[in-house]
Amino acid sequence: MSKGLLTAFKRLDRLLGNRRQLFELGLLLLIMGVAFTIRVLPMRWGVTLSEFDPWVQYKEAMYIIERGWSGFSEFFTWHDTESWYPWGRDMGRTAFPGIPFAMAFIYLLLKSVGLSPDPLELASILPVVYSLAGVALMYFLGRQVAGSATGLAAALFIAVSNSNISRNHLGWFDDESLSIPLMLLGFTAYLAALKEGRTVRGVVAYSLLAGGAMGAMAASWGAHKFPLALIPFFAVIASLLGKYSTRLLIATSTAFSTYTLIAMSVPKLGPSYIFETTLFSGFIGVGILLIFEIANRYIPPQSRRLFIGGLFVAAAIFFSAAVLLGVLGVPGLKFLSVALPQLRDALPIVISVAENQVPTWSIIFSDLGIFLIMAPFGVYLFLRRGGLPSLFIVIYTILSVYFASSMVRLSLIAAPAVALAAGYAFTYLFSQLGAIMSSVRAVRRRGQTIPLGYSFITPAILILLLGYSLLPAAYGGLNLRGEVSISPVDQGYQPVTLVTGSFPTRSVLADWMRALEWMKANLPPDAVVMSWWDYGYWITVVGGHKTLVDNGTLNSTQIGEVAYAFMSPPATAVEVLRRHDVTHVVIFVTHQFVSQGGQTFGRLLGFGDEGKWIWMLRIANQVGYKFVESEYLDSNFQPTQKFWDSTLMGQLIPYKPQQTQFGLGHFYNPSNLENFRLVYASSPPYNSLAYVYVYEVVYPQL
């Protein structure tokens, strides 16, 4: 016992005796501290979940926790009757289990050792914990590719990345918070498996770790297709560039088979998932690697190029034929539209969500920050450096930045690549400066002088730009058009959506919280609530009542029915609601009222249903109803009088248009509807910016 303890102390002494490692560890812990501080800034407004999807993840985790360890198996037979009324939802077959399973496992493990954390607080803090793991893994990935200095720079850059912060801050209990660290672990382990001199046993071990991490990511995140397809795609490109080795075949085939088996075991994906194009392309990739292996072993050098080229063309023809004949399923339009953004116009349900739209340059710059400027130079340096890890990062960076420029939410996948490329460029410039200064000192010792000239200019500019990009807008930091800040502090220092009443502000607007509490306490247990799908999770999970549609957007036909009801005249809408047993209708309206110098002016702001109704019209058209958009929307993109007079939504919005000396305004003038009785308003007129209205449906006698 004492001998083992002495050995442990000796190892610790050797570790601490290595000052370089100790210094790197200290810097990494400091960077993780910065990441933690930024991501817990929303705690100022309380601890709860952010946005919408985290609430259903929390609901799924609580289902398991309430049943104990058996809940993990019962989850896959769970039919939820509170959502998508009257059909309900098979949660085990329509939801990714990764996030709720991870939380339930952690909670039950803590409970088994006598600790009982509050589940909501645990769900809120876990994304921050996952983000710290992501920062550490970013360091190891950077060190694997280009050394410790690059790893530390990449860790710092991902710690202050707006895109990364937006998806793993306090309360963001959703897929991406866990999936990005798992993706980084998978990439790091895969590149470790490719390291020169690695034994076969080591290659297999690291590849299994990579496959396990990527498989867990596939069980957690719908956007897993790109990371899974990237590994075999990279292996094929590397082989075509003359970098094939048996080690590449073993690592790729082991990782691919591992994460494919895990993905197939997820009920939402199922065994048939192997016939989906993006995953099946991995089989083609491994097959091409086998062709290279056979060529290297059995084909004479003078015939290898012809042999490989012929079989490569045959594989491409086979793959294309399988897709055209329908043997392989193509990804849905939502995923295809990432590569071909013009396809998104055919999907109003998808494009109605801001994060699914094509980003503007200001959004891209805000998400990826000043590091986007340094990334191209980093890509060039990686190309010049050569080697498999460098090639992997180059391919990852180019593809992910392209996809991020196609869809707002995909900047999250590009953020690690940009951080790594920028980190390498950053450390290279400073290493060059260090080399120049060392040579200057050596020359000065010989009594000569060499002017440093412009050697300091580029690093100094980078430091100034980086420092300025971190500065909050309130202290003079960059704020594009007064709307988009590039400061990570501004990104982190925001209350969660429920606290702000789903309104873009840093103030507490308790309207949605009050409305949900009122619904939970006052609506009858069998109430069925119709709202636009944005608020479905809130009404079901927090408000405790059945809804027709929610943020899962599982049934576009039912969403179209809700859209049709809102866009129809009240008499028609009542019959649609009767078919679905709807008892109450909820709408959300944002309105600003200003009184100054004896003058008053009010206007709808467009953040609520008064701005979303156009998507209701388009989605209703998508499922087969016929609305002429120009009859409801004028050339100035304002709703016409027909919208206000002839649609249920126009009638339910209590603020009606009225011309004033300031232009078109909107004033409180609720309609007197025979079949819809207002039973709750979250705030009196003109007393808030966000209003939730609950109407009871009064059906006419048949």
Q: What is the CATH number of the domain that holds 652?
A: 3.40.50.12610
Residues 129-149 have pLDDT tens digits of 999 999 999 999 999 999 999
Q: What is the mean pLDDT of the chain?
A: 88
What is the torsional sign of CA 260, 264, 265, 268? positive
Check residue 29 and give its pLDDT. Answer: 95
Q: Evaluate whether 169 touches 39 at the Cβ level (below 8 Å).
A: yes
Residue 218: pLDDT over 60: yes
User: What's the CA gap between 515 and 510, in Å, rounded?
Assistant: 8
User: What's the CA gap between 81 and 318, in Å, rounded?
Assistant: 44
pTM above 0.75, yes or no: yes
Domain membership of residue 410 (yes or no) is no
Tell me which H or E stretch contains 659. Answer: strand 655-660
Check residue 10 and give its pLDDT. Answer: 61
Domain membership of residue 517 (yes or no) is yes
The string over 45-64, giving b where at least 16 C-beta atoms fall within 10 Å of a residue's C-beta and e elsewhere, is bebbbbbbbbbbbbbbbbbb
Most confident residue range from 103-107, 357-361, 371-375, 435-439: 103-107
Higher per-residue pLDDT: 601 or 261: 261
Domain membership of residue 683 (yes or no) is yes
Residue range 11-28: mean pLDDT, rounded: 74
Domain membership of residue 71 (yes or no) is yes
pLDDT band at 323 (very low <50, low <70, confident <90, very high): confident
Q: Evaluate whether 154 touches 137 at the Cβ level (below 8 Å).
A: no
The string over 230-251, giving b where at least 16 C-beta atoms fall within 10 Å of a residue's C-beta and e elsewhere, is bbbbbbbebbeeeebbebbbbb
Q: State percent of the chain over pLDDT 70.
A: 88
Q: Please state whether the peptide bond connecting residue 117 to the residue before it is cis, i.e. omega within 30 degrees of 0.
A: no
Check residue 1 and give its pLDDT. Answer: 46
Other beta carbons less than 10 A from residue 592's beta carbon = 13
* 651 closest CA partner among 693, 702, 701, 601: 693
Q: State percent of the chain over pLDDT 90.
A: 62
Check residue 36 and give its pLDDT. Answer: 97
Domain membership of residue 491 (yes or no) is no
Residue 598: pLDDT over 80: no
Q: Evaluate whether 285 touches 233 at the Cβ level (below 8 Å).
A: yes
Domain membership of residue 171 (yes or no) is no
Residue 40: pLDDT over 90: yes
pLDDT band at 3 (very low <50, low <70, confident <90, very high): low
Residues 634-677 have pLDDT tens digits of 988 899 999 999 999 999 999 999 888 778 889 999 999 999 99
* 238 closest CA partner among 389, 397, 413: 389
Domain membership of residue 536 (yes or no) is yes
Domain membership of residue 93 (yes or no) is yes
Residues 440-493 have pLDDT tens digits of 555 555 555 555 555 667 777 778 888 877 788 766 656 655 556 778 888 888
pLDDT band at 13 (very low <50, low <70, confident <90, very high): low
**Where is the domain boundary, 68, 85, 117?**
117
* 295 closest CA partner among 240, 217, 375: 240
Residue range 497-524: mean pLDDT, rounded: 91
Check residue 468 and give its pLDDT. Answer: 78
Check residue 23 and give its pLDDT. Answer: 84
User: How many domains are contained in the chain?
Assistant: 2
- Beta-strand ranges (E) seen in 522-618 are 528-530, 546-547, 584-596, 599-604
Residue 87: pLDDT over 90: yes
Residues 395-444 have pLDDT tens digits of 999 999 988 888 878 889 999 999 999 999 999 888 877 666 666 555 55
pLDDT band at 109 (very low <50, low <70, confident <90, very high): very high
Residue range 96-112: mean pLDDT, rounded: 96
**Where is the domain boundary, 94, 117, 140?**
117
Pick the range with the lowest mean pLDDT from 174-178, 305-309, 553-557.
Answer: 305-309
Residue with tokens 């980078």: 462
Residue 221: both structure tokens together = 């995140």
Give me the domain span that covers residue 86: 45-117
SS (HEC) of 207-256: HHHHHHHHHHHHCCCHHHHHHHHHHHHHHHHHHHCCCCCHHHHHHHHHHH
Residue 575: pLDDT over 90: yes
Can you tell me whether residue 330 is helix, strand or coil?
A: coil
